[in-house]
Structure formats: structure tokens, C-alpha cells
Homo-oligomer: A and B are copies of this chain.
Amino acid sequence: MSQGTLLYAQSGGVTAVINATAAAVITEARAKKIKVLAARNGILGALREELIDTSKEAAASIVALAHTPGGAFGSCRYKLKSLEADRARYERLLEVLRAHDVRWFLYNGGNDSADTALKVSQLAKEFGYPLTCVGVPKTIDNDLAVTDTCPGFGSAAKYTAVSVREAALDVAAMAETSTRVFIYEAMGRHAGWLAAAAGLAGENPDDAPQIILLPERAYDEAAFLTKVKQVVEKVGYCVVVASEGIHTADGRFVADAGGATDSFGHTQLGGVASYLAGRVKAGLGYKVHWTLPDYLQRSARHVASKTDWEQAQAVGKAAVRFALEGRNSVMPVIVRTSDAPYRWKIEAAPLSKVANHEKKMPAGFIRKDGFGISDKARRYLQPLIRGEAPLPWGRDGLPKYVTLKNVAVAKKLPAWEG
């Protein structure tokens, strides 16, 4: 008689370490003799009954999975609405879980995913189906409530700080006859966490990045240009880090890319650095360069944070433990017990406290002039980028990343007409 299976699904934008969480889930479940199914392309795969049998993967592949960026089973942007509005989809989901004897559902994502996991658990209860739902935190945006930080953020933060420090050395060397102002566009829709992490690249106010533009402060062009001019005149060059989500006092995004929206209803952003570069050039006449790292910043496993990598694995392991203990509708969260030395532990938080909340930077994390981070922010951010996560490199000079076999589980239900 089957003891039940565990279903794992990834949701939303992937990260440099979400597969480390997946590897920890699989490893922990294997140790407990629990079979892990993975949904292909996240919740969509669960709805379509496109499931992957992870027991077909060799142990060595799961070890390699722990250092492979991206999302090994596929992820998706697909938001389920309320139980009322999307009832058919939730019921189909439950039907698939039941068909594959899924007793434990682990959903690895951000606050939207926490919300979905919570609703699935509510419906299961309504139907009397024995299911334990656990959310597993993940987002480079670092905007989940309750948890001290979100797996994925530390590595993207390290990428940001390292890249800004390196590019600043380049700019400093060439400023006299070439680029005076360099603008780096960081991801971050509503919260400026990643842009803030760039502040770790410098120690003093004159160190790059001299200006950080955060969505938590209204963008004021005159003040910005004045500050750029001051910095260039004092330091010789200016490195600006801008969050993609900065907006003016009346709430308009500085660079709204034609108003396109993704399937979560979020406006699809991009182009802030390009816009600011144009304003600096027109307003101050300086030669400007800019960078848009885009996906590079969230997939750069080669420069991942060891702290982040360890936490990504810890939440995966804890999620399996919570699930098997029957702790329903919870999420393993990271609790910081000390800044220096940095100490943390994992606890369980109710999904209801995480779902649909968005954690912005506290006002005390922002420097008085609004263009940088405070010492308090440094104390918070610094441990998160600490340590280098081991990575095997091939003879070909490239990281050794794994591609899983992703063997499909035979379908048992009629095709989904969703």
C-alpha cells in the first residue's frame, strides 16, 4: 500500500539557488523513503497532470542540482485567483493530487505562491482530502513577510555588489576622458532590496555606488541631477544604482515599458537605466554608460552567496520535515538570532501571515539624503552575501550544471480543459 507521494512545484521567477531547495527537498524525502513528484512548469504542470518522477534521477544528479541555477522542472507565472473565482482550477488541482496519491504539496515561490498553497489546503480540508500544504520561500526581491530574508536574494545581492564594485573600478580608471556616469539597473518591482545591496560595494559616501535610487523614495529628477553633478565634481565620476521600480511622487513608474503587464497583473518594467542615462546626458552633458543585467542577476550561480545557498537548502529540508509532521499551511522561515556573528535558524510561520504581503525596506534602512543605505541596512544585508558557494568547473572553463532526465509520470486523468 502506498504511503503517499510528495509533490514539489516551483513558481514565478527562478533564482540561482531555487534548485538547491529542490535538491534538499528530494534528498530529505529520499532519506525518509518518500517519493517526490515534481510539477513540470510549476502549477501549470499540476493542472495539466504533467508530473515528473524524480526517483528516476541518479543521486549524483541531485547533488549537481544543488548548484545548478534556473528551475530544473520548469516554473511559471500563473496566478490562481480566489477560491470562488477559480474554483474549477482548484478542484482540478485537487483531483490531480488525489490521482497521484499526493499527501504533501510543497510550493516553492513568493507571496502569490504562499497564497495559492493556502487556498489549496483550504479546499482539501473542505473536501476531506488528507493533504499537508507547505510553502517554501523563494524570491530575489526579498519582499516576503515574516522571514528574515528570502532564498535567492542573497545570491542576487552578492552578484549586484560584486558587479558594481568591479564596474566602478573600470569607470574610475576611464572617467577623465570617457564615461563620467555609470548607471546600473537592479531588479525590484516595489521594494528596493537588490538596489540597496549594491551599497555593500562601497564603504564610504564617496565610494561607488554614490547614488542608489530606491522605490521607497519618490524620484525627483532635479534632486537626482544635482546630486550626480556634485558627485562627479567631487569624486570625478558617479556610479548610480537604480531600482527598476522607482517612481515619481505621484506614483508613475520612471520607465514604464509601454504599460505591458505580466500574467500576475504586474506592470512589466525595464528601461530605467536607459531613461536616466538620457536625462543625465541631456541635463549635465556627461558621457554616460549604463547596464541592464536583467536575468543575469538572478541566474549567476557562479557568484552565489554561501549564506544564501545554505538557507535555500535549509528551507527545503525543513519544508519536508514540516510536511511529514503534518504541519499544514505553514512556510519555513529564516529567523535571525544575531547580526555579528551572523546566526539564524528555521521556524514555521503560518502561510496566512506570508500570503499577499509585501515587505518593503524599513525607513531606517535608507540614508538621510535618500540616496544610499544606512548602517542599519548594512548590518542587515552584509551577512546575506557572505561566503562563496562551492561550484565544480569543467575542463572547458564553464560551470558543470546538470540537466535532469525529467521522466514523465503516466497520466491517469482526462486532459485538462483549462
Cβ of A274 < 8 Å from any Cβ of B?
yes
Task: Verify A69–B170 contact, CB threshold 8 A.
Answer: yes
- Residues on the B chain within 8 Å of A294, using CB: 167, 289-291
Cβ of A161 < 8 Å from any Cβ of B?
yes
Task: Verify A174–B13 contact, CB threshold 8 A.
Answer: yes
Cβ of A303 < 8 Å from any Cβ of B?
yes
Q: How far is the CA of A292 from the CA of B162 in the complex (A)?
A: 17
- Residues on the B chain within 8 Å of A293, using CB: 291, 293, 296
What are the interface flags for A163-189 relative to B under an 8 Å C-beta threshold, 1 for contact and 0 otherwise? 101111111111011110010000000
17 contacts between A and B (CB under 8 A): A14-B173, A16-B166, A69-B170, A73-B173, A74-B173, A76-B177, A158-B397, A166-B300, A166-B399, A170-B295, A201-B398, A289-B294, A289-B295, A291-B294, A302-B302, A303-B303, A386-B395
> Would you give the shortest CB distance from A217 to chain B, in whole angstroms?
25
> Would you give the shortest CB distance from A155 to chain B, in whole angstroms?
10
Tell whether A177 pairs with B44 under 8 Å between CB atoms, given A166-B296, A388-B393: yes
Tell whether A302 pairs with B174 under 8 Å between CB atoms, given A396-B200, A398-B161, A398-B200: no
Cβ of A149 < 8 Å from any Cβ of B?
no
Task: Verify A169–B70 contact, CB threshold 8 A.
Answer: yes
Select which of B76, B163, B387 is within 8 A of A176 by beta carbon: B76
- Residues on the B chain within 8 Å of A165, using CB: 398-399, 401
- Residues on the B chain within 8 Å of A386, using CB: 395-397
- Residues on the B chain within 8 Å of A169, using CB: 14, 68-71, 299, 401
Chain B residue nearest to A165 in the complex (CB): B398
Tell whether A177 pairs with B292 under 8 Å between CB atoms, given A170-B299, A382-B396: no
**Chain B CB within 10 Å, residue with most, of A73, A167, A298, A388:** A167
Select which of B68, B170, B274 is within 8 A of A298 by beta carbon: B170
Cβ of A221 < 8 Å from any Cβ of B?
no
- Residues on the B chain within 8 Å of A173, using CB: 10, 14, 70-75
- Residues on the B chain within 8 Å of A296, using CB: 163, 166-167, 291, 293, 296
Task: Verify A174–B76 contact, CB threshold 8 A.
Answer: yes
Cβ of A142 < 8 Å from any Cβ of B?
no
Size bin of chain A's contact surface = 35 or more
- Residues on the B chain within 8 Å of A72, using CB: 173
> Would you give the shortest CB distance from A43 to chain B, in whole angstroms?
10
What are the interface flags for A396-414 relative to B under an 8 Å C-beta threshold, 1 for contact and 0 otherwise? 1111010000000000000
Q: How far is the CA of A64 from the CA of B395 in the complex (A)?
A: 26
Cβ of A77 < 8 Å from any Cβ of B?
yes
Cβ of A226 < 8 Å from any Cβ of B?
no
Task: Verify A291–B292 contact, CB threshold 8 A.
Answer: yes
Chain B residue nearest to A13 in the complex (CB): B174
Select which of B78, B200, B388, B398 is within 8 A of A162 by beta carbon: B398
- Residues on the B chain within 8 Å of A116, using CB: none
Task: Verify A69–B166 contact, CB threshold 8 A.
Answer: yes
Cβ of A347 < 8 Å from any Cβ of B?
no
Tell whether A385 pairs with B401 under 8 Å between CB atoms, given A173-B70, A292-B292, A303-B303: no
Q: How far is the CA of A182 from the CA of B166 in the complex (A)?
A: 25
> Would you give the shortest CB distance from A144 to chain B, in whole angstroms?
20
